[in-house]
Chain A
Amino acid sequence: MSFRKRNTVIGIAGTTPEPHRAKVSVPGTRPSPHDGRLTTSTGTSSLDQLLAGHAGLPMGTSLLVEESGTTDFGGILLRYFAAEGLVQGHCVHVLGFGDHWRRELPGLASESRSKDSNSSKSSDSKMKIAWRYEALSSRATPSRDSAEGIAPFCHTFDLSARLEDSVAQGQFYTTRGSGMDPTQSPFRRFISDITARLKSSPPTSIHRIVIPSILSPTIYPPSACRPQEILQFLHHIRALLRQFPSRVVVMMTLPVSLYPRSTGLVRRAELLCDGVVEMIPLQQQPHHPVDRNSSSENKAQGLFRIHSLPVFHEKGGGLEGSWVKEDMSFKLSASSGLIITPYSLPPLLDDEGPSNGPSNESKPKLDF
Chain B
Amino acid sequence: MSNKIPSLLEQHLGLPEEASLTILTNTLGASSNWLVLRFLYSILQSGRGADAGVSEKEASPGVVFLSFMRDLAFWREGASRLGLDLDSLSRAGKFSFVDGLTGLLSGGQGSESTADRGRVLKSGKLDDMRRGIEAAITDVRSGPKVLIVDQLDELLAIFGEEDVTGLALEGMLLSLRERVHATVLTFSVDDPLLRSQGTSLERSHAALVLAQAHAADVILSLRMLDTGVAKDVSGVVRVTERDRAEASAEYLYHVGADGNAKVFERGT
Contacts and interface: CB of A to CB of B under 8 A. Distances in A.
Contacts of B188: 267-268, 271
B228 interface: yes
A235 B105 CA distance: 8
Contact of A239 (B101, B198, B201, B234): B101
A230 B214 CA distance: 30
A265 B231 contact: no
A268 B201 contact: yes
A339 to B, nearest CB: 23
B71 A227 contact: no
Interface string A254-282: 00000001111111101110001000000
Nearest to B200: A227
Interface residues of A, number: 38
B160 interface: yes
A243 B102 contact: yes
A268 to B, nearest CB: 5
A318 interface: yes
B30 A316 contact: yes
A308 B234 CA distance: 12
A266 B202 CA distance: 11
B254 interface: yes
Chain B CB within 10 A, most for which of A228, A264, A276, A307:
A264
B69 interface: yes
Interface in A14-39: 34
Nearest to B224: A325
Interface in B93-138: 101-105
A308 B29 contact: yes
A13 B254 CA distance: 37
Contact of B103 (A34, A239, A314, A318): A239
Interface string B237-268: 00000000000000000111101010000000
B192 A227 contact: no
Contact of B29 (A264, A313, A320): A313
Nearest to B102: A239
B29 A307 contact: yes
Contact of B158 (A235, A261, A267): A235
A245 B261 contact: no
Contact of B192 (A263, A272, A276, A315): A263
A239 B104 contact: yes
Interface in B205-223: 205
B157 A242 contact: no
B105 to A, nearest CB: 5
A228 B31 contact: no
Contacts of A308: 28-29
Given A245-B73, A271-B28, A314-B33, A227 B199 contact: yes
**Range for the number of chain B residues in contact with chain A:** 35 or more
B105 A266 contact: no
A264 B191 CA distance: 8
A262 B199 CA distance: 12
Contacts of A243: 102
B82 interface: no
A317 interface: yes
Contact of B33 (A227, A316, A320, A323): A316
A129 interface: no
Nearest to A265: B201
A130 interface: no
Interface in B114-173: 154, 157-160, 162
Contacts of A316: 30-35, 234-235, 255, 261
B28 A324 contact: no
A319 interface: yes
A228 B102 contact: no
Given A239-B101, A262-B196, A268-B201, A325 B228 contact: yes
Chain A CB within 10 A, most for which of B31, B78, B257, B259:
B257
A198 interface: no
A264 B33 contact: no
B229 A325 contact: yes
Contacts of B102: 239, 242-243
Contacts of A263: 192, 196, 198-199, 202
Interface in B11-62: 28-35
Contacts of B193: 264, 267-268
B192 A267 contact: yes
Contact of B28 (A239, A262, A270, A319): A270
A355 B259 CA distance: 52
B256 A235 contact: no
Given A267-B188, A318-B257, 16 more contacts: A228-B158, A228-B159, A262-B191, A262-B196, A263-B202, A264-B205, A271-B188, A313-B28, A314-B31, A315-B259, A316-B235, A317-B34, A317-B256, A317-B257, A318-B255, A321-B231
12 contacts: A235-B154, A238-B101, A242-B101, A262-B196, A263-B198, A264-B193, A264-B196, A264-B205, A314-B74, A315-B34, A316-B33, A316-B255
Interface of A: 34, 227-228, 231-232, 235-236, 238-239, 242-243, 245, 261-268, 270-272, 276, 307-308, 313-321, 323-325
